[in-house]
């Protein structure tokens, strides 16, 4: 296989193959996140062609976000049973099928089926749980940094492709954007087939930071694998840590991809800003998010993650409360893009770190899967609620005030986490 030969070549140069796995995972999450973000520039074209209301289209996007979240714990179980590589390839094929099918849709129920259910299942298999699984399997040292990098790819993919997709939609129609998404999915699938391996032991390697090869765990039946997420949920639901992480991540989803990713382009259109320009603002957010989230991963290896979450949620809440008063001018939106972008998904590394420290590295994929389900419930709430606000009140702005206020609540919840059970910050010299 290509991966075996490449691993031998890298080993002679003292480079761990885990970084290749990170690169393949980065590309996968970048592409699937781009697929998740695509409907944000397609709401208006779908309204124009089919006559659907914002709230109707938003209902399909809300279904997708719910499935995207609730597939997380089971995605971790599938990865443990079938292997990461097979699950990713299947997920990419499912997402591609959903988008190809949408080229021929004519009625609302077909949108609900294809962009709601099919794409929701597919993207759910490659959600943030994939980042938690890959980082915990392949890295002991620099695990927080790896989570930050992969989290950045997911958030950045939701934003940086939007200007191009908006331009394609404006010039050639919304179906051209669908073709673009399918092409990206094919490239990612080829990279995964060539370079992805399930565990370091597949290449007779220790995880990065270890000296001994860790053998894969004993295999279990599919039934046991599918019941494991339920068993883990029953166990962790008895702890306050889980519910605080769940609640804060609900608010995280409420204030990010459910609101900004889904409705920002249409919101700007209400203030006379064309889709390409609005999508460019989102791309700027994506660029700043890339550095902000990687920086968050670096910080999560060194500082108290509860206080990191306090600052992230607090600053995000203030930026959302500022947006309605920005007058949607160039300078106002630029200020918002910088501060909000740095914080877009910086909450992921400290949340994963707290989950791993409190519940252990073996369970972190499943635990974070359930926490991420809360994220997507919040995202679905915002996706539908903001669309309903625009339909019933002719304005998105109430949704932004609500999201900002909830972020301030999340910052307070974060510091209520007990410090006992959390790992002590590692000294800087260890890195």
Residue 332 has pLDDT above 80, yes or no: yes
Q: How confident is the model at residue 22 (pLDDT cuts 50, 70, 90)?
A: very high
Residue 313 has pLDDT above 80, yes or no: yes
Question: In Å, how far from its chain's centre is CA 349?
Answer: 12
Residue among 395, 401, 319, 301 nearest 357 (CA): 301
In the prediction, which pLDDT does 423 show?
A: 40
Residue 335 has pLDDT above 50, yes or no: yes
Residue 331 has pLDDT above 70, yes or no: yes
Q: Is residue 153 part of a domain?
A: yes
Residue range 177-196: average pLDDT? 92
Counting the structural domains of the chain, the total is 1
Residue range 364-388: average pLDDT? 85
Residue 427 has pLDDT above 60, yes or no: no
Please report the sign of the dihedral spanned by the C-alpha atoms of residue 223, residue 228, residue 233, residue 238. Answer: positive
In the prediction, which pLDDT does 405 show?
A: 95
In the prediction, which pLDDT does 420 show?
A: 53
Residues in the chain, how many? 431
User: Can you tell me the distance from the alpha carbon of 338 to that of 286, in angstroms, rounded to the nearest whole number?
Assistant: 9
HEC per residue, the chain: CHHHHHHHHHHHCCCCCHHHHHHHHHHHHHHHHHHHHHHHHCHHHHHHHHCCCHHHHHHHHHHHHHHHHHCHHHHHHHHHHHCHHHHHHHHHHHHHHHHHHHCCCCCHHHHHHHHHHHHHHHHHCCCHHHHHHHHHHHECCCHHHHHHHHHHHHHHHHHHCHHHHHHHHHHHCHHHHHHHHHHHHHHHHHHHHHHCCCCHHHHCCCCECCCCCCCCCCCCCHHHHHHHHHHHHHHHCCCHHHHHHHHHHHHHHHCCHHHHHHHHHHHHHHCCCCHHHHHHHHHHHHHHHHHHHHHHHHHHCCCCHHHHHHHHHHHHHHHHHHHHHCCCCHHHHHHHHHHHHHCCCCCHHHHHHHHHHHHCCCCHHHHHHHHHHHHHHHHHHHHHHHHHHHHHHCCCHHHHHHHHHHHHHHHHHHCCCCCCCCCCCCCHHHC
In the prediction, which pLDDT does 422 show?
A: 43
Please report the sign of the dihedral spanned by the C-alpha atoms of residue 401, residue 402, residue 404, residue 409. Answer: positive
In the prediction, which pLDDT does 260 show?
A: 85
User: Can you tell me the distance from the alpha carbon of 46 to that of 56, in angstroms, rounded to the nearest whole number?
Assistant: 11
Residue 325 has pLDDT above 70, yes or no: yes
User: Can you tell me the distance from the alpha carbon of 3 to that of 17, in angstroms, rounded to the nearest whole number?
Assistant: 8
In the prediction, which pLDDT does 190 show?
A: 94
Q: Is residue 217 part of a domain?
A: no
Q: Is residue 356 part of a domain?
A: yes
User: Can you tell me the distance from the alpha carbon of 54 to that of 43, in angstroms, rounded to the nearest whole number?
Assistant: 7
In the prediction, which pLDDT does 430 show?
A: 36
Q: Is residue 288 part of a domain?
A: yes
Contact 103, 175 (CB under 8 A): yes
Q: How confident is the model at residue 429 (pLDDT cuts 50, 70, 90)?
A: very low
Range of lowest pLDDT (58-72, 289-303, 380-394)? 58-72
pTM, two decimals, is 0.72
Highest mean pLDDT among 5-9, 31-35, 410-414: 410-414
Residue for token pair 């809360």: 374
Q: Is residue 265 part of a domain?
A: yes
Average per-residue pLDDT for the chain: 84
Residue 110 has pLDDT above 70, yes or no: yes
Residue for token pair 């609500």: 402
In the prediction, which pLDDT does 155 show?
A: 64
Beta bridge partners of 139: 208
Q: How confident is the model at residue 362 (pLDDT cuts 50, 70, 90)?
A: low
In the prediction, which pLDDT does 1 show?
A: 65
Per-residue pLDDT reduced to its tens digit, 207-244: 888 878 878 777 777 777 778 888 889 999 999 999 99
Range of the domain at 59: 2-196+225-419
Q: Is residue 429 part of a domain?
A: no
Query: What CA–CA distances, in Å, run from 66 to 62, 115, 316?
Result: 6, 12, 23
Residue 79, Ramachandran bin (φ over 0: left; ψ between -120 and 50: alpha; else beta) = alpha
Domain CATH for 140: 1.20.1250.20
Q: How is residue 220 written in tokens?
A: 């279990």
Per-residue pLDDT reduced to its tens digit, 157-176: 766 777 788 888 888 888 99
Residue among 12, 283, 286, 343 nearest 153 (CA): 286
Q: Rounded to 10 degrees, what is the CA torsion of 292, 296, 298, 303?
A: 140
Contact 115, 64 (CB under 8 A): yes
In the prediction, which pLDDT does 90 show?
A: 94
Per-residue pLDDT reduced to its tens digit, 406-422: 999 999 999 998 775 44
Q: Is residue 367 part of a domain?
A: yes
Q: Is residue 204 part of a domain?
A: no
Q: Report which of residues 40 and 18 the model is more confident about.
A: 18
């Amino acid at each position: 296989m290509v991966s075996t030969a490449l691993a031998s070549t890298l080993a002679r140069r003292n480079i761990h193959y885990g970084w290749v796995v990170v690169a393949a995972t980065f590309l996968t999450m970048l592409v699937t996140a781009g697929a998740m973000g695509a409907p944000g520039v397609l709401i208006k074209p779908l309204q124009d062609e089919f006559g659907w209301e914002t709230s109707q289209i938003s209902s399909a996007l809300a279904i997708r976000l719910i499935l995207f979240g609730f597939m997380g714990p089971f995605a971790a179980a599938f990865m443990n049973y079938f292997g990461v590589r097979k699950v990713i390839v299947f997920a990419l094929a499912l997402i591609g099928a959903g988008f190809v099918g949408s080229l021929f849709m004519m009625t609302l129920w077909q949108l609900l089926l294809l962009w709601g259910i099919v794409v929701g299942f597919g993207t759910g298999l490659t959600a943030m749980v994939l980042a938690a699984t890959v980082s915990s399997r392949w890295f002991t040292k620099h695990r927080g940094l790896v989570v930050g990098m992969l989290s950045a790819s997911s958030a950045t993919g939701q934003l940086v492709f939007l200007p191009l997709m908006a331009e394609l939609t404006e010039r050639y129609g919304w179906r051209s954007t669908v073709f673009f998404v399918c092409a990206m999915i094919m490239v990612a699938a080829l990279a995964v087939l060539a370079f992805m391996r399930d565990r370091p032991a597949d290449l007779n390697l220790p995880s990065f930071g270890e000296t001994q090869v860790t053998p894969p765990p004993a295999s279990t039946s599919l039934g046991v694998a599918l019941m494991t997420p339920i068993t883990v949920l029953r166990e962790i639901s008895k702890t306050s840590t889980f519910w605080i992480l769940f609640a804060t991540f609900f608010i995280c989803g409420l204030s990010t991809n459910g609101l900004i990713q889904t409705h920002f382009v249409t919101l700007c259109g209400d203030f006379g800003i064309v889709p390409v320009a609005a999508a460019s603002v989102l791309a700027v957010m994506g660029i700043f998010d890339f550095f902000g989230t990687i920086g968050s991963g670096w910080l999560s290896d060194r500082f108290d993650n509860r206080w990191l979450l306090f600052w992230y949620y607090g600053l995000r809440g203030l930026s959302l409360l500022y947006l309605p008063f920005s007058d949607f001018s160039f300078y106002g939106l630029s200020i918002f893009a910088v501060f909000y972008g740095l914080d877009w998904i910086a909450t992921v590394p400290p949340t994963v770190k707290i989950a791993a420290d409190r519940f252990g590295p073996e369970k972190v994929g499943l635990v974070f899967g359930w926490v991420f389900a809360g994220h997507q419930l919040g995202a679905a709430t915002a996706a539908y609620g903001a669309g309903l606000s625009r339909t019933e009140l002719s304005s998105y702005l109430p949704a932004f005030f609500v999201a900002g206020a909830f972020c301030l609540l999340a910052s307070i919840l974060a510091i209520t986490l007990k410090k006992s059970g959390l790992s002590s910050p590692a000294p800087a010299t260890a890195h």
